[in-house]
Amino acid sequence: MKFSFKFCAFTFLLFLFIFAGVAFHWKLFQKEINGDIRHHFRDETAYQNYLLNDVNFAGVAFRVVNVKKGDNFWKIAKRNHVRIDSLIGVNPYWKDLLARVGQRVLVPSENGVLEFVRDYNELNEIADIYGVETSSMIVEKKPPLYSWYHKYDGERKPIAVFIPKVKPRVAMMTETLASRFEERELFRSPLGGRLTSFFGSRRHPIFHRKKFHNGLDIAARRGTYIGAARGGRVVFAGWRGGYGRAVIIEHDMGYKTLYGHMSSILVKPGQRVQVGRIIGRVGSTGLSTGPHLHFTVWKRGKLINPLNILW
């Protein structure tokens, strides 16, 4: 009887010890999974390698593209038939949108964003966040019975989920990039076209010397409609020196935009316009070598790079 009591007591204590250990380990693991996805990987390279080598999706693939001289993220997105939003949605380590030669960029085979969950029962929450059906999300393939034993696997990584056709949320971005993304949501591109000259120092195509370029040039066919990048009030519409026929719109929050080299202007000073409202057509008036839109942005009187708001 004495032996039986000691044996039972020992068995009970051993059970408590094992249970407490598992519970403690699982509590720590939950804390880890609940954090920023970047906390689960040593660095960006480890994250990319894990996604490329250890995650298996049905219907979507990922590959790495190395940035070459003259590249930018917009060019890479266009070459791979995805939006810049989608590159942001699968590259959570980005702190800015400056592509650096040799940088490895993760590229998805279709538009969408990548999320990670700690448990399958969180899929409904992710679906609600993006306003989609759970059936439209692509969950990484896992071994049979994984949904049963994964809670006790301390070495596991979070479960990858790809949500097609949506834009990334700021909660998954670095703090610096999130602020840029929120600003971008205030605007839309004035037209679709090819980016031919960027903000900053450049060799002037007419004067053939280095000059500061205060905007972004978007090439398009002559006569292509140009829309207001944000709602506001037209404060100038007419001829403006080297910009040729141009329109300037004042917006709220201290923003102002200029649209230059138009072939025709379709608004008047003092007129209020909504975002996307047609304000003119692409041309080559003023100092220009071909049909394109020159687009300049100010914020509280200071020039800003249009690519900060046009992704």
| 74, pLDDT greater than 60 | yes
Collect all residues with Cβ–Cβ distance below 8 Å to 202 and sequence separation of at least 6.
210, 211, 212, 213
Q: Which is higher by pLDDT, 94 or 153?
A: 94
237-263 tens-digit pLDDT: 999 999 999 999 999 999 999 999 999
- The pLDDT, as a whole number, for residue 18 is 45
- The pLDDT, as a whole number, for residue 117 is 87
Collect all residues with Cβ–Cβ distance below 8 Å to 17 and sequence separation of at least 6.
none
Q: Which is higher by pLDDT, 139 or 141?
A: 139
Domains of the chain: residue spans and CATH: 37-184 (no CATH), 194-308 (2.70.70.10)
| 308, pLDDT greater than 90 | no
Percent of residues, the chain, with pLDDT higher than 70: 82
Single-letter amino acid, residue 67: V
**What is the spatial distance between Cα 135 and Cα 202, in angstroms, rounded to a whole number?**
49
158 — pLDDT class (breaks 50, 70, 90): confident
**What is the spatial distance between Cα 154 and Cα 25, in angstroms, rounded to a whole number?**
7
**What is the spatial distance between Cα 94 and Cα 44, in angstroms, rounded to a whole number?**
9
- The pLDDT, as a whole number, for residue 6 is 55
- The pLDDT, as a whole number, for residue 10 is 54
- The pLDDT, as a whole number, for residue 36 is 62
- The pLDDT, as a whole number, for residue 22 is 40
| 26, pLDDT greater than 80 | no
Single-letter amino acid, residue 193: G
- The pLDDT, as a whole number, for residue 32 is 38
- The pLDDT, as a whole number, for residue 30 is 39
Q: Concatenate the DSSP letters of all residues of the chain into one string.
A: -HHHHHHHHHHHHHHHHHHHHHHHHHHHHHHHHHS-GGGGSSSHHHHHHHHHHT---SS--EEEEE--TT--HHHHHHHTT--HHHHHHH-TT-SSS---TT-EEEEESSSEEEEEESSGGGHHHHHHHHT--GGGSEEPP--TTHHHHGGG-TTPPPEEEEEET-PPPGGGS-HHHHHHHHHHTT---SS--EEEE-SEEEE-TTT-SEEEE-SEEEE--TT-EEE-SS-EEEEEEEE-GGG-EEEEEE-GGGEEEEEEEEEEE---TT-EE-TT-EEEEEB--SS-SSSEEEEEEEETTEEE-GGGT--
Write down the pTM of the prediction: 0.66
310 — pLDDT class (breaks 50, 70, 90): confident
Closest CA to 247 of 205, 212, 209, 285: 285
Q: Residue 208, by phi and psi: left (phi above 0), alpha (psi -120 to 50) or beta?
A: left
Cβ atoms of 227 and 280 closer than 8 Å: no
257-296 tens-digit pLDDT: 999 999 999 999 999 999 999 999 999 999 998 999 999 9
The two tokens of residue 258 are 């200029």
198-207 tens-digit pLDDT: 888 877 776 6
29 — pLDDT class (breaks 50, 70, 90): very low
**What is the spatial distance between Cα 45 and Cα 185, in angstroms, rounded to a whole number?**
29
40-63 tens-digit pLDDT: 788 999 999 999 999 999 889 999
Percent of residues, the chain, with pLDDT higher than 90: 57
- Read off the pLDDT of each residue in 163-192 and give the average, rounded to a whole number: 88
Average pLDDT taken over every residue of the chain? 85
| 27, pLDDT greater than 50 | no
CA 11 vs. chain centroid, Å, equals: 55
140 — pLDDT class (breaks 50, 70, 90): very high
| 163, pLDDT greater than 80 | yes
